[in-house]
Amino acid sequence: MSAYNYTTPDWLDTGDNAWQLTAATLVGLQSIPGLVVMYAGLVKRKWAVNSAFMAFYAFAAVLICWVLWAYKMGFGEQWGAAPFVGTPGPIQTIDNELIQALFPTSGITANYPMSTMVYFQFVFAAITLILLAGALLGRMNFKAWMLFVPLWLTFSYTVGAFSLWGGGFLAQRGVIDYSGGYVIHVSSGTAGFVAAYWVGPRLPQDREDFRPNNVLLALVGAGILWTGWNGFNGGDPYAASADAGAAVLNTNIATAMSLLVWTSLDLIFFKKPAVIGAVQGMITGLVAITPAAGVVAGWGAIIIGALSGSIPWFSMNYLGKKFFPWTYVDDTLGVYHTHLCAGVVGGMATGLFATAEGCAAFAITNPGGAIEGNWKQVWLQLVGALFIIGLNLVMTSIICLFIKHVCRINLRMSDAELLIGDDAIHGEDAYAFGDAVQPSLRGSPRREMMPLHELEEGNGKGHGTATAEAEEVSGY
């Protein structure tokens, strides 16, 4: 019997462990229930169940893939000569869970067990897929989504995570991504936009009128997302450190500033302070501060918030409504603008405003950004963004084509299913009271008696015209 002290080993810092588990739980709550209820509120009533369940499914599927092979691909030993990904493998024995947390390629250690680190990194992987789903709500075939999640996690997310966080080539060159501005937000924004292209658009009437079914429910989810970000950014020093406190404060400063700027622009140009606009400004502020949270000063966080409340606003409300490819690709919740655009804004601002003291507190060797005379950091941040964008353009396209042409699973629901929504896909309604008739079937006895296949008007990308059935569904 080994004399090893499994209860309180010498390397264990109980304070660090408690904070890391708390931070991980906060990030988990951002996904379930945060994004689950936010998505359910932001979409039309007929898509509330499907949108929420896409997020719920992704959270569960990512965890099983994570412990069986994906964690080691993102944070394990380098796989071969290419510094892009770790060697896949399981991390499920009790010895794996109790040993000290270690990233073998970078040599980073933490004062808590590997199980804590694995779970902390899992909730980041899960929320990335859930954010990506925001571009696909209201039409992606759920069976295709079930396959897309493990494939994209394996062949895209783990590469970005290893390259920037696990000791890969971008980390070695000094690219700063404090908590996922690139790994999570630029990747989900790019992949969501690309996948939206391959899946195809919603029905024309849905795309023209997609008013939220429950704004207050969306606000509940948004509030959970905002406060949960304290764990998102505050947990990435991997310790209950002074820098964790700075990251939390800067996160909230930038988010508040971004929300105020976005709302002000709505007032100036649209004459009304839109609640959904404020939520978008909140999200872009959270995204933009993420790569910089613990390495910039408070005034840097204010500047980043001002930039994230204005540049993505312009991207969404001007470029997105007037120019190709944004007018062509049906990005349901605008993740291109809120995550890709805001993530790049934050990443480049990190290159400008990173302080030497913040970098030292985060235990990295970078001498700061341009304000410290290190203009090279701006170039490095650009290289990091371009790599993540290119990776996701290629891998997401390959995965979508593989699902469609090799697995023979349609990426998009049929038009008949799109007309009905949740009841056709899940046999459930988000707001089913008593024996009320499903709204999409109301007033059409013929529809209630017809087999679903007789309503279909095609599948895939050739679906530009509204059908006669579509004209029956008034109010959707």
pLDDT confidence bin for 447, thresholds 50/70/90: very low
Q: Is residue 65 part of a domain?
A: yes
Q: Of 83-97, 232-246, 349-363, 392-406, which gets the smallest average pLDDT?
A: 83-97
Question: Crossing angle of helices 14-29/215-234, nearest 10°?
Answer: 150
Average pLDDT over residues 9-20: 94
Instruction: State the residue range of the domain holding 150.
Output: 18-426
Give the pLDDT of residue 2: 55
Give the pLDDT of residue 3: 63
What's the number of domains the chain is made of? 1
Give the pLDDT of residue 95: 86
Average pLDDT over residues 140-165: 97
Q: Is residue 62 part of a domain?
A: yes
Query: How far apart, in Å, do the first and last CA atoms of the chain sit?
Result: 68
Give the pLDDT of residue 429: 87
Q: Is pLDDT above 90 for 72?
A: yes
Core vs surface per residue 314-343: b (16+ CB within 10 A) or e? ebbbeebeeeeebeebbbbbbbbbbbbbbb
CB 135 within 8 A of CB 335: yes
Average pLDDT over residues 277-306: 97
Give the pLDDT of residue 265: 97
Give the HSE-up count for residue 41: Cα atoms under 13 Å, Cβ half-sphere: 19
CATH number where 257 lies: 1.10.3430.10
Q: What pTM, to 2 d.p., does this model score?
A: 0.88
Nearest to 291 by CA among 362, 394, 373, 365: 362
pLDDT more than 90, % of the chain: 83
Cis peptide before 204 (omega within 30 of 0): no
Q: Is residue 447 part of a domain?
A: no
Q: Is pLDDT above 80 for 138?
A: yes
Q: Is residue 133 part of a domain?
A: yes
Average pLDDT over residues 270-283: 95
Q: Is pLDDT above 50 for 464?
A: no
Q: Is residue 218 part of a domain?
A: yes
Give the pLDDT of residue 430: 85
Q: Is residue 12 part of a domain?
A: no
Chain centroid to CA 135: 10
pLDDT digits (tens, 9 = 90+) for 210-251: 899 999 999 999 999 999 999 999 999 999 999 999 999 999
Q: Is residue 66 part of a domain?
A: yes
Average pLDDT over residues 358-364: 94
Q: Is residue 456 part of a domain?
A: no
